Amino acid sequence: MTDQSPTPHQPRPSVGVHFKCCNVYINIYQNQAGTAYTGHCPRCATPIEIPIVEKGGSSSRFFTDS
Ligand SMILES: [Zn+2]
């Protein structure tokens, strides 16, 4: 294996989400466009998308599906 210079990459922001459907908690990550956090329930695959609001407002970093 060659030792290449490390590629600078920023870890994508994540948020914790509680899925009420299956009562599970996971972290989901920003999509590539950076417009929303997207993920799905690890048990039943229910998708979730949390739009990212750029302007100030809620500082909460925890969400639940609805
Ligand atoms: Zn579920």
CA of 65 to the centre of ligand 1 (A): 10
Ligand 1 centroid, distance to 42 Cα (angstroms): 7
| Cα(17) to centroid(ligand 1), Å | 11
Q: What is the pLDDT of residue 8?
A: 73
Strand partners, 37: 30, 50
Q: Residue ranges of the domains in the chain? A: 12-50
Q: What is the pLDDT of residue 59?
A: 55
Q: pLDDT digits over 24-51, tens only?
A: 999 999 999 989 999 999 999 999 999 9
Is 6 within 8 Å of 25 (Cβ atoms)?
no
Residue 26 CA to ligand 1 center (angstroms) comes to: 11
Instruction: Provide φ and ψ at 20, rounded to 5°.
Output: -70, -30
Distance CA 1, CA 16 (A): 36
pLDDT at 61: 64
> When comparing pLDDT for 36 and 1, which is higher?
36
The model's pLDDT over 5-21, given as tens digits with 9 standing for 90+, comes to 676 777 789 999 999 99
Ligand 1 center from residue 5 Cα (angstroms): 41
- What pTM value is reported for the model? 0.64
